[in-house]
Amino acid sequence: MVVAIVLVAGAAFATPAAADCSITMTLRVGSRGVEVQCLQASLGITQDGAFGPMTKAAVQAWQTSKGLVADGVFGPISRSVWVAQGSVSGNFPAGCTSAAGYSPTTGVKCDTAPSSGLPAGCTSTSGYSSTTGKKCDGSDTPSSGGGSLSGGETDINSINIDDADDDTIDEGDSKAEVASLEFDVDDADAELVRADVVFQVDDANDEENKPWRVFDKVYLMNGSDVLASIAADDEDNWDDADDVLTGTDFDEAGADAYRLRFNNINETFNEGDNVELSIAVDVASSVDGADSGVEWGVGLEDEGLRFSDGAGLDTFASTTDVASFTIEEAGGDSELTITQDSSSPDAGNLEVDADDTTTATIAVFKVKADEDGGDVKINDFPVLVAVTNSVATVSNNDVSDVVDEVMLVIDGHTYTSEITANSTDASEEYTFEDIDDDDIIVDAGDSMLATVKIKFKSQANYDNGATIVATSQIDENDVEDADSGDDVGDVSGTPAGETQTLYSTGIVVSNFESEFDTTTDAGLVTKQTFTIDFDVTAFGDTFYIPKTVDGFDTATAMALDDTVGLGYNLESSAGVIQTAGMDNVRSTESALTSTADTVSSFFEVPEGETETFHVTIELNDLGDTAGFYHVQLTELLYDLDQVDGTLTEAKTTFAPAQDFETQDVKVD
**pLDDT tens for each residue of 618-627:** 998 876 678 8
**Predicted model pTM:** 0.45
203 pLDDT band (50/70/90 cuts)? low
467 and 523 in one domain?
no
- For residue 5, the model assigns a pLDDT of 29
Q: In this structure, are 387 and 481 located in the same domain?
A: yes
Query: Residue 173: how many CA atoms within 13 Å on its side-chain side?
Result: 23
**Is residue 107 included in any domain, yes or no?**
no
- Residue-wise pLDDT for 398-428, tens only, equals 888 889 999 999 999 999 986 655 556 788 8
Out of 63-72, 429-438, 512-521, 551-560, pick the least confident: 551-560
- Give the per-residue pLDDT at 138: 52
Q: What is the mean pLDDT of the chain?
A: 81
Q: Choose one of 328, 355, 385: the last residue of a domain.
A: 328
pLDDT, tens only, 488-527: 778 888 999 999 988 888 898 999 999 999 999 998 899 9
Please report the pLDDT score of residue 469 as a whole number.
95
The DSSP element (H or E) to which 526 belongs, if any, is: strand 524-539
**Could you give the CA distance from residue 574 to residue 241 in angstroms, rounded to a whole number?**
14
Q: Are residues 368 and 311 in the same domain?
A: no
CA 100 to the chain's CA centroid: 43
Averaged over 171-185, what is the pLDDT? 91
Closest CA to 386 of 426, 346, 422, 359: 426
**Per-residue model confidence (pLDDT) at position 546:** 93
pLDDT confidence of residue 464: 81
Q: Per-residue pLDDT for 128 more than 50?
A: no
Q: Is the pLDDT of residue 137 over 70?
A: no
Which one of 120-124, 238-242, 512-516, 523-527 scores highest in mean pLDDT?
512-516
CATH of the domain at 212: 2.60.40
User: Looking at the predicted structure, is the pLDDT value of residue 13 above 80?
Assistant: no
Model confidence at 287, pLDDT cuts 50, 70, 90, reads low
Task: Evaluate whether residue 123 is within a structural domain.
Answer: no
Residue 358 has pLDDT above 90, yes or no: yes
Model confidence over 545-571: pLDDT tens digits?
A: 999 999 887 766 677 776 889 999 999
CATH number of 66's domain: 1.10.101.10
Residue 139 pLDDT class (50, 70, 90 cuts): very low
Identify residue 281 by its one-letter amino acid code. Answer: V
Residues belonging to the chain: 668
**pLDDT at residue 106 tops 90:** no
Residue 340 and residue 311 share a domain: no
Residue 139: count other Cβ atoms within 10 Å of its Cβ. Answer: 11
The answer to the question of residue 315 being in a domain is: yes
For residues 350-372, b (16+ Cβ closer than 10 Å) or e, as one string? bbbeeeeebeebbbbbbbbbbbb
Same structural domain, 234 and 284: yes
Instruction: Report d(CA 424, CA 631) in Å as an integer.
Output: 42
Is beta strand 295-309 parallel, antiparallel or unpaired with respect to 190-201? antiparallel
Question: What whole-number percentage of the chain has pLDDT above 70?
Answer: 79
The residue segments making up the domain with residue 32 are 3-87
3-state secondary structure of 589: strand
Max intra-chain CA distance, the chain: 95
How does pLDDT run across 462-495, given as a tens digit for each residue? 888 889 999 999 988 899 888 778 777 788 889 9
The pLDDT tens digits for 290-305 are 455 678 889 999 889 9
Cβ-contact 507, 349 below 8 angstroms: yes
Split into its structural domains, the chain has a count of 4
* Least confident segment among 4-13, 275-284, 517-526: 4-13
Quick one: how far is CA 595 from the chain centroid? 36
What's phi and psi for 264, nearest 5 deg? Answer: 55, 45
365 and 445 co-located in one domain: yes
Which of 305, 328, 351 terminates a domain? The answer is 328
Q: Are 634 and 552 in contact (CB under 8 A)?
A: yes
DSSP string spanning 333-375?
SEEEEEEE-TTSPPSEEEE--SSS-EEEEEEEEEEEE-TTS--
Residue 199 DSSP symbol: E
Residue closest to 398 by CA, chosen among 420, 414, 368, 371: 420
The answer to whether 592 and 582 have CB atoms below 8 angstroms apart is no
DSSP 85: I
The answer for residues whose C-beta is within 8 angstroms of residue 575's C-beta and 6 or more apart is 246, 320
CB of 297 closer than 8 Å to CB of 247 = yes
**Does 279 share its domain with 359?**
no
Rounded CA gap, 91 and 100, in Å?
13
Mean of pLDDT values over 313-317 = 89
DSSP assignment of 252-293? -TTS-EEEEEE----EEE-TT-EEEEEEEEEEPTT--TTTTT
3-state helix/strand/coil string of 463-524: CCCEEEEEEECCCHHHEEECCCCCCCCEEECCCECCCEEEECCEEEEEEEEEEEEEEEECCE
Half-sphere exposure of 472 (CA within 13 A, CB side): 29
Confirm whether 541 is domain-assigned: yes
Note whether residue 115 is domain-resident. no
Note the pLDDT tens digit of each residue in 642-662. 776 555 788 888 888 888 999
CA distances from 161 to 179, 297, 658 (A): 7, 11, 12
* 42 occurs within a structural domain: yes
Angstrom distance (rounded) from CA 119 to CA 290? 43
Verify that 523 and 498 share a domain, yes or no.
no
Q: Where is the domain boundary, 87, 111, 131? A: 87
Which one is predicted more confidently, 129 or 389? Answer: 389
DSSP run (H or E) holding 162: strand 155-163
Residue range 7-32: average pLDDT? 58
Provide the strand spans (E) within 389-446.
403-410, 413-418, 427-430, 440-442
Contact 211, 217 (CB under 8 A): no
Give a yes or no: residue 105 inside a domain.
no
CB atoms under 10 Å from CB of 484, counted, come to: 9
Are residues 567 and 615 located together in one domain of the fold? yes
Closest residue by Cα to residue 27 from 97, 92, 90, 79 = 79
Q: Is pLDDT at 390 greater than 90 in this prediction?
A: no
- Local structure of residue 213 (DSSP, 8 states): H
* Per-residue pLDDT reduced to its tens digit, 573-609: 888 888 765 667 888 899 999 999 999 889 999 999 9
Type of residue numbered 470: A
Percent pLDDT > 90 in the chain is 38
* pLDDT reported for residue 204: 56
Phi, psi torsion values for 50, nearest 5 degrees? -115, 120
pLDDT at 349: 86
User: Which of 62-76, 152-166, 192-206 is most confident?
Assistant: 152-166
Task: Say if residue 317 is in the same domain as residue 365.
Answer: no
Residue 495 and residue 437 share a domain: yes
499 and 520 share one domain: no
Task: Give domain status of residue 162, yes or no.
Answer: yes
